[in-house]
Amino acid sequence: MVDPLDRARSVLTEVHRAVTTVDPTAVTALSTAITAARAVFFDARGRSGLVARALAMRWMHLGLRVHVAGETTTPAIGAGDLLVCLSASGRTAGPLTNAGVARARGARVGVLTAAPNSPLAAAADVVVVVAADSHQHGGSLFEQACLLLGDAMCGAFQHANEIPDAALDERHANLL
Q: Is 143 a catalytic residue?
A: yes
The DSSP secondary structure of 125-161, one letter per residue, reads: SEEEE-----SSSTTHHHHHHHHHHHHHHHHHHHHHT
Catalytic residue among 14, 143, 162, 170: 143
One-letter amino acid for residue 18 of the chain: A
User: Can you tell me the distance from the alpha carbon of 2 to that of 145, in angstroms, rounded to the nearest whole number?
Assistant: 23
**What is the number of other CB atoms lying within 10 angstroms of the CB of residue 47?**
18
Q: Which amino acids are annotated catalytic? A: 143
